[in-house]
Amino acid sequence: MHAVAMPEGRRKSAGFAYLLLVSCGLFGLHRLYLGHVQSAAGMAAITLVSLPLIWTGLGLLGLVCVGTWALADALLIPGMARDSNEAAPAAIATAQALA
C-alpha cells in the first residue's frame, strides 16, 4: 500500500494544539482539534459543572482534576498530533479501496 500524503492545510499542528491548550485548555479545545471528541467533551463538561461550584470543595476538585489533565496533555500533544496525521491518510486509503 502506498502512503497517501495529506494536504498541508489538513495536517494537525502540534503548535496550534499547544496554543489551544494555553488559551482554552480547561475546555479541551486542543483535544477536539486533534480528534479526541469524547474526551474533549468530558473536559468541557467537568469544567462547566465545576465553575459555578468553585467556592465549594467539589468545584475546586473538578478544576484541579481538569487542570492536571491539561498539564498531562502538554506532554501528550506531539503524539496525539502524530497519530491524528497518520490516521487520516489511512482512513482516506480505506475509503478509496472500498470505492
Q: Contacts for 63-67 with beta carbons within 8 Å, 24 or more apart?
A: 63/26, 66/26, 67/25, 67/26
> Rounded CA gap, 69 and 74, in Å?
9
Domains of the chain, residue spans: 23-91
Pairs from 56-60 (Cβ < 8 Å, separation ≥ 24): none
| Contact of 81 with 20, CB cutoff 8 Å | no
pLDDT in tens, 47-94: 999 999 998 888 999 999 999 999 999 999 999 999 999 886 666 666
Contacts of 20 (CB under 8 A, 6+ apart): 29, 30, 33
**The pLDDT of residue 71:** 96
